[in-house]
């Protein structure tokens, strides 16, 4: 039987695309696609045959990917989880690992890389052969400044699904017009969303926004 995979992403378009790509390789089956953490948990509760692997978006409204990962791992520890994100945010990486994620891939990762990652994860996770990776894990698990994710959730008003979608497009280099084109909405609307995002995150430029996510 092929590798069974679940996909959790609030953006149906993205999960659809990932699923299509994966199916083309003919090496995996898509067990389920969920567009929220709650949905994913419900699916797992209702079904007996769980996928071996779940691809989990981090940036989701409501229950985010990290919390979802934590809950899934508490109930079904055998399921491996790979986080998908467009941001390599420090606090997120740290929390994802603590929550039990086995891998952490950027969304724009190429297909072969993804497939290789699947194999590695299923073979017992961390291919930490070089000493560097060992140290890395030790440091991450051993004690990174935990104060960060507190701030992280306290200061932040939650972004809506649409806002997260726009945020991701901004973070991949799209200007307002391009975003409007891709989402089939007016540039005015995009600008308004961006305005709201800025207010919620206390930033006031695209660069600051990226820094907010990336530098921490």
Partner DNA sequence: CAAAAAATACGCCTTTATGCGTATTGCACT
Partner DNA sequence: AGTGCAATACGCATAAAGGCGTATTTTTTG
Residue ranges in 145-204 that form contacts with a second copy under rule CB under 8 A: 145, 170-173, 175
Q: What is the DSSP string of 27-91?
A: SEEEEEEESSHHHHHHHHHH-SS--SEEEEES--SSS-HHHHHHHHHHH-TT-EEEEEES---HH
Of these, 24, 111, 122, 134, which contacts a second copy (CB under 8 A)?
134
Q: Tally DSSP H helices, then E strands, for the chain.
A: 11, 5
Identify which of residues 38 and 98 has a Cβ nearer to a second copy in the complex.
98
Which of 82, 209 has the CB closer to DNA?
209
> Minimal distance in Å, beta carbon 67 to DNA?
16
Q: What is the DSSP-derived secondary structure letter of residue 145? A: -
Among residues 127 and 181, whose Cβ is nearest to a second copy?
127
**Alpha carbon distance 133, 177 (integer Å):** 41
Nearer to DNA, 73 or 193 (CB): 193
- Determine, following the binding rule CB under 8 A, whether residue 206 of this chain makes contact with a second copy: yes
Q: Closer to DNA at the Cβ: 107 or 193?
A: 193
Sequence-distant contacts of 203-208: CB under 8 A, at least 24 apart: 206/170
The residues that touch DNA, with contacts defined as CB under 7 A, are 158, 160-163, 175-177, 183, 185-189, 191-195, 198, 204-206
- To which H or E segment does residue 184 belong? none
Residue 43 binds which entry of DNA, a second copy, none, CB below 5-8 Å type-dependent: none
Q: Look-up: residue for tokens 């017992």? A: 124
- With binding defined as CB under 8 A, does residue 77 bind a second copy? no
CB of 41 to a second copy, least distance (A): 25
> With CB cut-offs between 5 and 8 Å by kind, which of DNA, a second copy, none does residue 80 bind?
none
Q: Give the closest residue to 44 by CA, choosing from 15, 16, 6.
A: 6
């Amino acid at each position: 039987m092929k590798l069974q995979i679940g996909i959790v992403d609030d953006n149906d378009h993205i999960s659809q695309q990932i699923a299509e790509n994966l199916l083309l390789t003919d090496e995996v089956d898509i067990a389920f696609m969920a567009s929220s953490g709650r949905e994913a948990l419900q699916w797992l509760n209702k079904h007996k045959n769980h996928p071996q692997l779940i691809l989990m978006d981090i940036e989701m409204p409501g229950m985010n990917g990290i919390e979802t990962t934590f809950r899934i791992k508490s109930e079904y520890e055998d399921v491996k989880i790979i986080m998908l994100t467009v941001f390599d945010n420090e606090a997120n990486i740290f929390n994802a690992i603590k929550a039990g994620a086995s891998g952490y891939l950027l969304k724009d990762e190429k297909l072969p890389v993804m497939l290789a990652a699947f194999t590695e994860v299923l073979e017992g996770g961390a291919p930490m052969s070089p000493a560097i990776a060992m140290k890395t894990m030790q440091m991450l698990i051993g004690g990174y400044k935990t104060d960060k994710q507190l701030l992280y959730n306290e200061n932040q008003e939650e972004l809506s699904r649409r806002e997260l979608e726009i945020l991701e497009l901004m973070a991949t280099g799209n200007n307002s017009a391009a975003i409007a084109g891709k989402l089939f909405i007016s540039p005015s609307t995009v600008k308004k969303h961006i305005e709201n995002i800025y207010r919620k995150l206390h930033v006031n430029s695209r660069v600051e926004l990226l820094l907010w996510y990336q530098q921490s």
